[in-house]
C-alpha cells in the first residue's frame, strides 16, 4: 500500500505520540510506502522551522532539515508534471492530490477537516483520517 501523509500529520508524527506517529513509524519500518513530493517536503521544512516547534525538536534531538532528509530517504519522492486545481478552498492542498496521483497512492491521510477530508476521494484515491489509515493498514496486517 502506498500513502501520502498530509503535512499536518507529518508534523504531528514528528513532535507527538499518537496515530500520526504510528503511521510515520510504519513507513520507517517498511509496512507501507510513503509517497511525497519536493513541494510537500519543502512545506514540511518550512513548518518545522517555525519557532513554536524549535523546543520540541531540540528535546528530541531533531532538526527540521534532519527530519526532511530522513523522510526523503524512506519515501518515494515524485515530481508531478502539473498541479491541477482540485481543492476549491485551499490551493496548497492541490500539491497533496498531485503527489498522490503521480505516485499512484492508495490513500491520502490528513487531519484537514476543512479542505481535504470533505473531498472523500479523488480519482479513486481515498482521503481519510489518521485513524482510518491505521485501521486500513491493520486490516491488511500492517502497523
- 52 vs 116: CA distance, rounded Å: 24
User: What pLDDT shows up at residue 88?
Assistant: 85
CB neighbour class for 120 (10 Å; exposed up to 12, middle 13-18, buried from 19)? exposed
- Number of CB atoms found within 10 A of residue 81's CB: 8
User: What pLDDT shows up at residue 45?
Assistant: 97
Residue 36 has pLDDT above 80, yes or no: yes
What is the per-residue pLDDT across 93-131, written as a single tens digit (0 to 9) for each?
999 999 999 999 999 999 999 999 999 999 999 999 999
- 6 vs 93: CA distance, rounded Å: 9
- Number of CB atoms found within 10 A of residue 35's CB: 24
Sign of the Cα pseudo-torsion (39, 45, 46, 48, in order): positive
Residue 142 has pLDDT above 70, yes or no: no
What is the per-residue pLDDT across 4-26, written as a single tens digit (0 to 9) for each?
999 999 999 999 999 999 999 99
**In this prediction, what percent of the chain has a pLDDT beyond 90?**
87
Count the residues in the chain: 143
Domains of the chain: 2-139 (3.40.50.1010)
- For residue 25, CA distances in Å to 19, 34, 71, 76, 81 come to 10, 11, 11, 16, 29
Amino acid at each position: 500500500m502506498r500513502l501520502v501523509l498530509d503535512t499536518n500529520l507529518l508534523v504531528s508524527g514528528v513532535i507527538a505520540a499518537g496515530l500520526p506517529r504510528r503511521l510515520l513509524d510504519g513507513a520507517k519500518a517498511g509496512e507501507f510506502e510513503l509517497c511525497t513530493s519536493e513541494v510537500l517536503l519543502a512545506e514540511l521544512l518550512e513548518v518545522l522551522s517555525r519557532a513554536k516547534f524549535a523546543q520540541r525538536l531540540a528535546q528530541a534531538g531533531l532538526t527540521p532539515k534532519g527530519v526532511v532528509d530522513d523522510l526523503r530517504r524512506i519515501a518515494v519522492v515524485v515530481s508531478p508534471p502539473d498541479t491541477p486545481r482540485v481543492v476549491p478552498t485551499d490551493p496548497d492542498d492541490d500539491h497533496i492530490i498531485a503527489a498522490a496521483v503521480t505516485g499512484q497512492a492508495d490513500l491520502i491521510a490528513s487531519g484537514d477537516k476543512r479542505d481535504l477530508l470533505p473531498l472523500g476521494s479523488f480519482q479513486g484515491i481515498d482521503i481519510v483520517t489518521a485513524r482510518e489509515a491505521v485501521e486500513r493498514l491493520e486490516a491488511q496486517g500492517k502497523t
